[in-house]
Amino acid sequence: MYMVGFYSPKAKSGVTEMSLSIYQWLKKNTFLKVAFISYGVLEKEEISNDFIHGFSNLSLIEQKRKVKQLKKEFDIIIYDASSQLSEGVLKLLPIVDRLFIVGDENRDFAVKLHEIIQFDKLFDNSVKNFIAHLQGNKTFILRENMDQRVIGFTNSKKETDDIGQMIYTDYVTFYIERKLIEKNKKVFNKIKKIPRDELYIGLYELGIDFEKALLFHQYITLRVALGQPYDEALTNMFPFLINYSFEELLEKFQNELFFITKLQKY
């Protein structure tokens, strides 16, 4: 379900040791089901259902299938992306939910890699297709706070505990967010089925305050009158319906109305 990647631009930088210690920490200190993937081949560890290495030996199709299977079976997947810098590694990094760059001296590289991955996801169809294959129509985006998402660290016992705690906390947040997204998707699908002329009535019947439902109806009507397709207007405005109070939504509506009126004068 939740995938954490460990990487370094340098050979023999301790990526495998760090990722293995995090894998073992999570298995010891939580009740979560944890799996481990190593892009390269490990000498001592045996391959099992929850411990896979030599991932680079699999074809891209087999890698897709395996990751998809593991995401269904396990709560957290630790991905050791050490090995050498390769196209295969770079194509897998964008699917992780958190990315660690090993070694504090690599902090600048971490930020640059984050930017490259973001750019790559926009233009590389193979990466976009891989993400779509794993997550349906949802394009995964690394969170904007890079200090928390892409960091450097040294390999110490204390930091193993700190990072283990961080990953566990992040997993819990991720789980809650996903559940809320699933709930909102169900609500949105119900809203799309409401007849246009009865939108505010349908929203009220779904539990939205009447004043807010009526305001949202007027907002959508304004957008459609300006030429925006109805379904697109619903999609764009739905997050504001869920996250904004009546006062905040009213202020946004008034600001947009003011801006449109000002444009019409010119």
CATH number at residue 173: 3.40.50
At residue 72's C-alpha, the angle toward residues 70 and 76, to 5°, is: 60
8 Å CB contact between 206 and 191: yes
Q: 126 and 64 in contact (C-beta within 8 Å)?
A: no
Mean pLDDT confidence for 90-111 = 67
**Same structural domain, 125 and 243:** no
Predicted TM-score of the model (pTM):
0.61
244 and 115 fall within a common domain: no
Tens-digit pLDDT profile for residues 226-255: 899 999 899 888 888 887 889 989 998 888
Same domain, 198 and 172: no
Domain endpoint, select from 150, 180, 210: 180
If phi over 0 gives left and psi between -120 and 50 gives alpha, with beta otherwise, what is residue 46?
beta
Q: Say what percent of the chain tops pLDDT 90.
A: 22
218 shares its domain with 258: yes
Query: Is the pLDDT confidence value at 78 over 90?
Result: yes
Range of the domain at 237: 194-265
Is 186 within a domain? no
Residues 17 and 127 in one domain: yes
Angle at 88 between CA 82 and CA 93, to 5 degrees: 65
Residues 88, 167, single domain; the answer is yes
Count CB atoms within 10 A of the CB of residue 189. Answer: 9
Residue 128 has pLDDT above 60, yes or no: no
185 in any annotated domain? no
Mean pLDDT of 142-170: 65
pLDDT of residue 130: 47
How many of the other CB atoms lie within 10 Å of CB of 219? 20
List all residues 6 or more positions away from 45 whose beta carbon is below 8 Å from its beta carbon.
Answer: 51, 53
Range with top average pLDDT, 68-72, 140-144, 212-216: 212-216
Same domain, 106 and 224: no
For helices 125-135 and 60-73, the axis angle rounded to 10 degrees is 30
Examine the domain organization and report whether 163 and 201 are in the same domain. no
- The three-state secondary structure class of 52 is strand
Q: Is residue 156 part of a domain?
A: yes
Are residue 124 and residue 23 in the same domain, yes or no?
yes
Model confidence pLDDT, tens digit, residues 9-52? 766 677 888 889 999 999 999 999 999 998 888 878 788 888 98
pLDDT at 135: 41
Reported as a pLDDT band with limits 50, 70 and 90, residue 108 is: low
Average pLDDT for residues 57-75, to the nearest whole number?
A: 85
Average pLDDT, rounded, for the chain: 78
Tell me if 189 is assigned to some domain.
Answer: no
Q: What is the pLDDT of residues 160-198, one digit of tens each?
A: 888 888 888 888 887 877 777 778 888 888 999 999 999
CB within 8 Å of 256: residues ≥ 6 apart = 219, 222
Query: Which is more confident, 116 or 68?
Result: 68
Domain edge (last residue) among 130, 151, 180: 180
- Number of domains observed in the structure of the chain: 2
Do residues 101 and 158 both lie within one domain? yes
Residue 187 lies in a domain: no
